């Protein structure tokens, strides 16, 4: 009974947050019940969401209102709206929590917001139509994708200047970063427009070394978003598997790491997009952008356990272990 009780207690300290990009709200899911536990009203068309290191705040990029919302977790209220560039997309936070980086899709830069003054302090050029930004596992760089220039730019978080770029051989969409010793990136897995699969980049060599095709889609299958055959990927908490969504097959495929061998393909809802794992890796939550739902996957049994109705066009999704 003790392990079960401990598991239940741990589950109640975690929440899953889903940004509903077709509306103006964040849905909160309780993994202990896999039911909706609440809702946070934010600015129009929320795109990215990231917590502060102490979990007292959330930062939410609003693609519709061109602001960064600062949300107090305890009250679930916006405490500040910070003006930023046009069409802000994904965002990431530095390990010390002092800077938030936001991709500005309509421009060619990443905006930087100081979380003490709550003001935009800098814009960093990264190439045309930046879409996603990620902190590398070692905490040294922010990796920003440029859809227009088909590259990723690594920004040194100490100097807040671009350090180097890597070509992606296609229009980069979501990225997953495989960590090596000390958190130094070993490989980048990059989904590309018009590719039903992903590219593999050797980080040290700074070049594409392989492209992996997902299992073949049904004849005549059409993606929810044009030219977007695969959009959403993540590495499991134990670092042993890469999970990849297919908008053509409405499924999630998982590959072993480091071998990249296909392990399973799991049907989910229409238009699967982003995903997140519980901290213990027992479940994966997948936002189904075309079904206004979130699929819950048992990561050991490789099967869908439930579909949870959420808001309109859910995309970015994160799990947060609460203090």
pLDDT digits (tens, 9 = 90+) for 280-294: 999 999 999 999 999
Torsion on CA atoms 277, 192, 159, 51, rounded to nearest 10: -30
Task: Tell whether the model's pLDDT for residue 197 goes beyond 60.
Answer: yes
Total domain count for the chain? Answer: 1
Geometric angle at alpha carbon 19, from 18 and 21, rounded to 5°? 140
pLDDT digits (tens, 9 = 90+) for 153-174: 999 999 999 999 999 999 999 9
229 lies in some domain: yes
Task: Tell whether the model's pLDDT for residue 187 goes beyond 90.
Answer: yes
- Give pLDDT, residue 12: 54
Tell me the two tokens of residue 232.
């959403």
DSSP 307: E
296 lies in some domain: yes
CATH number of the domain enclosing 277:
2.120.10.30
307 lies in some domain: yes
133 lies in some domain: no
Tell me the two tokens of residue 30.
């309780």
For residue 221, give its domain range. 215-315
Q: CA dist 226 to 102, 194, 244, 267, Å?
A: 24, 9, 18, 21
> What is the pTM for the complete model shown?
0.95
In the numeric block, the tokens 């952008």 are attached to 289
pLDDT digits (tens, 9 = 90+) for 238-297: 999 999 999 999 999 999 999 999 999 999 999 999 999 999 999 999 999 999 999 999
35 lies in some domain: no
249 lies in some domain: yes
Q: pLDDT over 90 for what percent of the chain?
A: 93
91 lies in some domain: no
111 lies in some domain: no
Contact assessment for residue 113 and residue 61, using Cβ atoms and an 8 Å cutoff: no
């Amino acid at each position: 009974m003790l392990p079960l009780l401990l598991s239940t207690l741990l589950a109640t300290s975690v929440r899953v947050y889903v940004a509903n990009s077709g509306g103006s709200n964040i849905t909160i899911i309780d993994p202990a019940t896999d039911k909706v536990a609440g809702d946070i009203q934010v600015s129009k068309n929320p795109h990215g969401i990231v917590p502060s290191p102490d979990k007292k705040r959330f930062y939410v990029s609003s693609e519709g209102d061109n602001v960064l919302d600062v949300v107090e977790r305890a009250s679930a209220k916006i405490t500040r709206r910070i003006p930023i560039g046009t069409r802000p997309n994904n965002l990431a936070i530095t390990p010390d929590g002092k800077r938030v980086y936001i991709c500005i899709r309509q421009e060619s830069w990443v905006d930087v917001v100081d979380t003490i003054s709550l003001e935009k302090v800098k814009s960093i050029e990264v190439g045309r139509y930046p879409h996603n930004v990620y902190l590398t596992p070692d905490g040294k760089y922010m990796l920003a994708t440029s859809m227009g220039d088909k590259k990723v730019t690594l920004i040194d978080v100490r100097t807040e200047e671009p350090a180097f770029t890597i070509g992606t051989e296609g229009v980069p969409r979501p990225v997953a970063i495989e960590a090596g010793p000390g958190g130094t990136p070993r490989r980048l897995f990059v989904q590309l427009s018009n590719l039903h699969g992903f590219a593999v980049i050797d980080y040290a060599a700074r070049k594409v070394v392989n492209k992996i095709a997902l299992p073949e889609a049904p004849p005549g299958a059409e993606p929810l978003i044009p030219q977007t055959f695969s959009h959403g990927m993540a590495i499991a908490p134990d670092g042993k598997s890469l999970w990849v969504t297919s908008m053509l097959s409405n499924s999630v495929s998982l590959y072993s790491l480091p071998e990249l061998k296909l392990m399973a393909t799991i049907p989910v809802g229409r238009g699967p997009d982003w995903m997140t794992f519980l901290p213990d890796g027992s479940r994966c939550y997948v936002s189904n952008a075309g079904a206004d739902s979130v699929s819950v996957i048992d990561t050991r049994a490789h099967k869908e356990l439930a579909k949870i109705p959420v808001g309109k066009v859910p995309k970015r999704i994160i799990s947060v272990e609460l203090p």
